[in-house]
Structure 1
Amino acid sequence: MNTPSWRDRLLLQEDLNFLLTNRIPRLALTRLMGRYSRIRSRWLTRLSIAVWRWFTDLDLSESAQQEFDSLHACFTRALRPGARPFVPDPTLLASPCDAIVGECGPVQGQQVWQAKGFPYTLADLMGSAELAARHADGQFVTLRLTSSMYHRFHAPHDLAVERVTYISGDTWNVNPIALRRVERLFCKNERAVIETRLAADGSRLTLVPVAAVLVASIRLHALDVRLHLGYRGPHAIPCAARYAKGDEMGWFEHGSTILVFVPPGWALADGVAAGQRVRAGQALLRRVPSPAPSAGTAEPGP
């Protein structure tokens, strides 16, 4: 068995990890990181990427470009065409992003779990009792993007975006250590509630990108504004944007989380479980066939 390096032991030490990523001036450092990442300098960007690689498993082999003029350009990099094929089966909902699956499974009434012993309600997360009711007893999947992952997210199915609600908030870290310590963390952080309808049958699908420490900026192609801590526009923004399955919808500017909610009638796709790594385009949820009527309940013939 390989002995963990001192660096790995340091990063995995829970108390220290939580202290260094949460007991800090989170909002100030997040704003500072946003400004730093946009500095246009090839040599500074190369140095920053080298330091980034020292702490993470950053892999740029699939990137559409290999040289970047800012750290922001590397964070939000596009991939080579065809790098993320989307499962074509219309009964399958694809993962919108590269991620590690967190808590997932049935919504219990309107209650969801961020970690064992740490529940939150859909209404608290989404800011709407009406929207929460639409997903009662449905299914949910928590998708956590690490800092080194591909940060763009895509349409998991053919759909139309009807409304985006921006909810300003804090920037707690969203790693498993923080999720086990901070109650209702997703409901406290900055987030965008993206309400959509599937093109096939009009059923609801809601995506909730949640920002985190050092990443409080979300860009959606459906809007002509960037959602970030300094945003002062309307919070509920009507939309009329249509996407085919796999179309790019937007990006984070570091790493964070996307929460996926569907109404009853769906189940987790085969193999989807907490801790699993998924790529954008892989099957995430599957449509559950409606039960066929029994012979005893069939309508009599003429």
Structure 2
Amino acid sequence: MKAHPSLPARKPGLLQRLTQHEDLNFLLTNRVPRQALTHLVGWYSRIRSPWLTRLSIWVWRRFTELDLREAKQQQFDSLHACFTRELKPGARHVDVRDDIFASPCDAIVGACGPVQGTQVFQAKGFPYQLGELFGPSQDTTPFHGGHYVTLRLTSAMYHRFHAPHDATLEHVTYLSGDTWNVNPVALQRVEKLYCRNERAVLNLRLDRGGHRVALVPVAAILVASIRLHCLDVRLHLRYRGPNEIGCREPFAKGQEMGWFEHGSTIIVFVPPGFTLAEGVAPGARVRMGQALLQLPASA
């Protein structure tokens, strides 16, 4: 079949528009005073005013796919209450099979797959080392040659995260850092972005098999605040220490562990022997409790 004569002329124009859109996106979300803006939004989100909150949510819906039909609460007196909303009972189904590692949150799957020795990818062509993400105090040996899954939460999503299996939270490392946007445009332009941003490393020991796994919540612009139910501090940019927090908190599969104050990313790390569940691939949407990984067969 003969090509349409106008196609060659239109393709560069489309590519140019896409590039310009990415440039504008990157400019608006990263070439700004990120930490100052994050503090400002944090302050604004806590203003208790029902009418201001309704207006803010109306604007929010104009730019995102925000859907509050599953929210336990339908009226909010602040944006913070909306950001950190709970869901109605039964809104999420947790896969209770003992050999299934469930998704800890609602998310869009980003980069995922095998850990290449100690190397992980945030996006194609942008690798980082496990030690750079976990920090100098952490032993990453259990995850060498294992698997990882990047879970990106958009601003409109449910922002609470849950235990992916029956497990004990044994240690938390908090690493203060920057607040780069973690959207796909930034991930393809900012080297080792996850290793630069504020983050926490949650070390868990699964009841089944004693496997060590890690959840790494990474904060971002407008987000930089992570809350864990088992700690009496809110992890945010003004919280400088102690960076190493010992704990021994048991969690049942699906039990709520904490939340982000807007939306960001959780990177899951598991040791060798785990495999990705069916359908888990970059771009796939998953819900909290859905099968994410398959555990190794019991000894």
TM over 0.5: yes
Aligned residue number for residue 123 of structure 1: 131
Q: Counterpart of 1:295? A: none
Matched with 2:209 is 201
SS for the counterpart of 1:114 is strand
Q: What is the match of residue 55 of structure 2?
A: 47
Q: Could you report, residue by residue, the CA deviation over 1:244-282 in whole angstroms, capped at 9, with x for unpaired residues?
A: 000000000001000000000100001100000000000
Partner of 1:74: 82
- Indicate the larger mover: 123-132 or 62-71: 123-132
Residues in 1 aligned to 2:18 and 2:72: alpha-carbon distance in whole angstroms? 33
Mapped partners of 1:10, 1:28: distance in 2: 29
CA RMSD of aligned residues (A): 1.5
| Correspondence list, 1:91-110, <5 A | 91-110=99-118
1:38-187 to 2 correspondences below 5 Å: 38-128=46-136, 130-187=138-195
Please identify, of 230-239 and 60-69, the stretch whose mean Cα deviation from structure 2 is larger.
230-239
Which whole-Å CA distance do the structure 1 matches of 2:179 and 2:143 have between them? 26
The match for 1:261 among 248, 265, 269 is: 269
| Matched position secondary structure for 1:15 | helix
Q: Distance in 2 between matches of 1:76 and 1:203?
A: 30
Please report how far the alpha carbon of residue 84 of structure 1 lies from its aligned counterpart in structure 2 after TM superposition: 1.0
User: For residues 294 and 20 of structure 2, what CA distance do their matches in structure 1 show?
Assistant: 35
Indicate yes or no: 2:226 matched with 1:213: no
Structure-2 separation of matches of 1:258 and 1:111:
17
| Structure 2 unaligned spans of 5+ | 1-16
1:224 aligns with 2:217: no
Closer, same or farther in 2 for the Cα pair 1:128/1:203, shift >3 Å?
Answer: farther
Structure 1 residues 130, 226: CA separation in 2 closer, same or farther (over 3 Å shift)? closer
Q: What is the alpha-carbon distance in structure 2 between the residues aligned to residue 164 and residue 130 of structure 1? A: 10
| TM-score (normalizing by structure 2) | 0.92
Q: How has the CA–CA distance of structure 1 residues 290 and 224 changed in structure 2, closer, same or farther, with 3 Å as cutoff?
A: closer
Q: Paired residue for 2:27, among 19, 42, 46?
A: 19
Once the two structures are TM-superposed, the CA of residue 290 in structure 1 deviates from its matched residue by 7.1
Which residue is equivalent to 2:260?
Answer: 252
Measured in 2, the distance between the counterparts of 1:13 and 1:61 equals: 31
Task: Report the CA distance between 1:132 and its aligned residue.
Answer: 1.4
Contact 2:222 2:262 in 1 (8 A): yes
Compute the displacement of 1:131 (Å): 2.2
Distance 1:30 1:80 in 2: 29
1:217-261 Cα shifts (integer Å, max 9, x gaps): 000012110000111330000011110000000000001000000
Aligned length: 283
- Percent sequence identity is 69
Residue 35 of structure 1 corresponds to 43
8 Å contact kept, 2:159–2:262 = yes
Distance (Å, rounded) in 2 between the aligned partners of 1:10 and 1:77:
34
